[in-house]
Amino acid sequence: MKIECTIDNKHLLLTINSNKPLNLILMEDVEGMPLNSRCRDGNCGNCVVLMDDEAVLSCLIPAFRLKGAKILTFEGYQKTRFWHDLERAYEDSKNQPCPRCIASKTLIFESLLQMMGKPETGDKGDDVPNTETILSELRLNTCNCLDAEELIEIFTIAANYRRRRRVRRN
């Protein structure tokens, strides 16, 4: 099956099995992708990528769902200006996810920050997801290196940086 998609801002035409999971596609079919989660069942949550700005477990996404999708890996995300908001939030809070889960938790945070920036009917797009939503999304990754309070603190700091960025841009 031939599938066109964008991965880390590179337009690609992939010829792959339609049921092959995204994590294997990233490891085997896309050059330079260091994603190393082979769980295939979503238990660890270390294979999170952004698919059309939403955090998803790449081991559970079959190739046929990639048609026309925009995929962003952690490595691609680190090259964006938005990475600095979370990088600074980690520094300011003096908390950072462990090396095993930093990539996936960072992308989940970014997905939540993107949610905050999308205006819903009549909103200005400044609505911060509530604590329950934040913690629910972060459960995609099962690592317990940070507790709920630390995760909320990181998100709150990052959200403040993102708001300032939007104000400067406008």
50 and 123 together in one domain:
no
SS3 percent helix, strand, coil of the chain, rounded to 5, is 45, 15, 40
In terms of phi and psi (left: phi > 0; alpha: psi -120 to 50; beta: otherwise), the region of 42 is left
Tokens of 29: 């079919």
Range of the domain at 144: 83-169
Judgement on whether residues 18 and 64 belong to the same structural domain of the protein: yes
Instruction: List C-alpha distances in Å: 146 to 99, 101, 151.
Output: 12, 10, 6
Please give the backbone phi and psi of residue 51, each rounded to the nearest 5 degrees, phi first: -120, 110
Query: Taking the C-alpha atoms of 86, 88, 92 and 97 in order, what is their torsion angle to the nearest 10 degrees?
Result: 40
Q: Report yes or no on 158 lying in a domain.
A: yes
User: Using 50, 70 and 90 to split pLDDT, how confident is the model at 55?
Assistant: very high
pTM of the prediction? 0.90
Pairing outcome for strands 2-7 and 70-72: parallel
152 domain residue, yes or no = yes
Write the pLDDT tens digit of every residue in 99-113.
Answer: 999 999 999 999 999
Bridge partners, 5 (sequence order): 12
pLDDT for the residue numbered 11: 96
Domain boundary among 72, 105, 122: 72
- Greatest CA span in the chain, whole angstroms? 46
Mean pLDDT computed over 45-57: 94
pLDDT confidence tier of residue 35, bands split at 50, 70 and 90:
low
Same domain, 154 and 91: yes
